[in-house]
Each structure stands twice: as structure tokens, then as C-alpha cells.
Amino acid sequence: MLKTLELTKTFSRQDRHFDAVHHVDFSINGGEMVVLTGPSGCGKSTFFHMICGITQADSGSILFDREDISHYSAEQWAQLRASKISYILQGDSLLPNFTVMENICLPHRLCGNDSDLESKALKLLKDFGLEAMANDYPTNLSGGERRRVAIIRAFVHDPKLIVADEPTSDLDEENTTLIIDFFQQQAKQGKAILISTHDLSCVRPGMIRYKMEKGQMKKA
């Protein structure tokens, strides 16, 4: 489904150049759940930003469904994220002045996707035990509940690839288990799930683990 070849991103700091991501070859297929570990600053977020079109690579290729998307325009990337790729940022990134249901549906409506979003959102809210909070505002939710709402927002339009940057950071064991269980269920339904984490308790049998260090990635 997704494949990178020699993917590289170079930054400059105090007149010195360094590769935040260095010639990374990587692949993930539908039905797989891949866990990417590594210390802070190793390049995980930069890699995620490139494969989701937020940051453009300096060299290398990104293939999605066998199409080279490396040089997509900003508009093409936006359309891809609105339809087939979801990126879950660190934290919850919910808008405080909108209800839970509005937070879930609004970004997709702004991209022209209005395919029965509310009924899909309600089903996912029920799966997470949050259906009673559909009309609440984020300030009324706990940290774990806000994180689950952000994850629902990423799944409501039925993407093929989900990229999640530290989706369980700062969460208790119960919320972490809920989220990882949900990801595994979605992978079994054919979605490709890629997450980064510092928490090795998230790694379960059947998952594929990669490790990143100084911009380089290898299977762990």
C-alpha cells in the first residue's frame, strides 16, 4: 500500500547540515500494524510528515497504491488526506468551541466529504463508549476521551492508511489498551496502521516493529 525508497530530509542548524531522515526504505501493506520506536529527535515525526504530505522530501520516492505521490501538489495531498490517508497528531488537536460531533465531522465536510458522516461518527462513538458525549465540548472530556475523539475523527471517512504519532502518550493503561485494541481491529479489517511510540507495552504479537535512530530505520 505505502512504500518509500531512499526517502531523505535534510535540515540545517548553526550552518551544519544533517539528515533528519536518511535514505529510508519502508513498506506497509493493508492489514498490517507497524510500530515505529526510537528516541525523541530520531526523525519519526519528520518521516510521518513526509509520508502524509505535510513536509516535502528532499530526495527519494513515496509510493501509495503503486502511484508515485512524492511530488504531489498541496491540493493533491489535501485530497489524499481527505480520502485515503489519515494523520493523527500528537495530543488531541480538538477545537474547543465545537462539539465532539462537530470536531469529528467538520474537517471532512470542509474537504467536500459529506457521505453520511454523522451516522458513521455515532457508530464509532458507540464503539468507544462515548455516544452520550456527542454534543459535549472538549473541555468537558478527560484527556483519554479527547484522544479517542481525535482517533474517531481520523477513521470516520474510512481511510486506507492511518498514521498516528504517539497516540497513547500520557494516557493511562486503560485508555492505551482501548486505543491499541481498536487499531488492531481496524488492521484486521484491512487497514494499514502505522504508529510511533515510546511505550513498548503497545507492541503485541503479530505487530511489525521498526526502530529509528539518527534518521535511519530498520526492523527491530
- Mean pLDDT of the region 79-99: 89
In this prediction the pTM is 0.90
Question: How far is Cα 155 from Cα 151, in angstroms, rounded to an integer?
Answer: 7
Mean pLDDT, range 3-11, rounded to an integer: 96
pLDDT value for 164: 95
Enter the DSSP assignment of 201.
G
Contact criterion met (CB below 8 Å) for 212 and 44: yes
- Under CATH, what is the fold of the domain 2-84+159-219? Rossmann fold (3.40.50)
Q: What is the pLDDT of residues 110-150, one digit of tens each?
A: 766 666 888 999 999 999 999 999 999 999 999 889 999 99
Packed helices 143-155 and 173-188: angle between N→C axes, nearest 10 degrees: 10
Using pLDDT thresholds of 50, 70 and 90, give the confidence band for residue 14: confident
User: Which segments of the chain belong to CATH 3.40.50.300?
Assistant: 2-84+159-219
Work out the average pLDDT over 19-23: 94
